[in-house]
Structure 1
Amino acid sequence: MKTFACGDVVPGCSAAFTAADDAGILGQVAAHAAADHGLPEVGPELVAAVCAHIRAA
């Protein structure tokens, strides 16, 4: 299992995600970024930042 805390990349955000793998985390983060942060597209820099903060659960 993997985990990611959005606040590690976006200060003040309390959202956290758990999935079996990085792809699962990235899918959840993309939906969250659009719905809660107004980002309709997750660019390569954001993907890299998220991947750098994904941890094993």
Structure 2
Amino acid sequence: MKAFACGDVVPGCEARWVCSTEDEILARVGAHASSAHGLTEISPELVGAVRGSIVAA
């Protein structure tokens, strides 16, 4: 299992996910980034920050 807390990348955001795979987390975080943070593009730097903050759950 993998876990990610959005607040590790976007201070103040309380969203968290625990998923089976890193790819599943990335898909959910992408949808969240659009709906909660208004992002229309996900930069490679943001993907890298998210990947770097994913931990084993």
- Scaled to the shorter chain, the TM-score interval is over 0.9
Q: What does residue 20 of structure 1 align with?
A: 20
Q: How many residues align?
A: 57
Q: Percent identity?
A: 56
Q: What does residue 49 of structure 2 align with?
A: 49
Runs of 4+ in 1 over 6 A off after TM superposition: none
Gaps of 5+ in 2: none
TM-score normalised by structure 2 residue count: 0.96
RMSD between aligned residues:
0.5
TM-score normalised by structure 1 residue count: 0.96
Distance in 2 (alpha carbons) for counterparts of 1:33 and 1:18: 16
Gaps of 5+ in 1: none
Q: Report deviation, 1:18.
A: 1.3
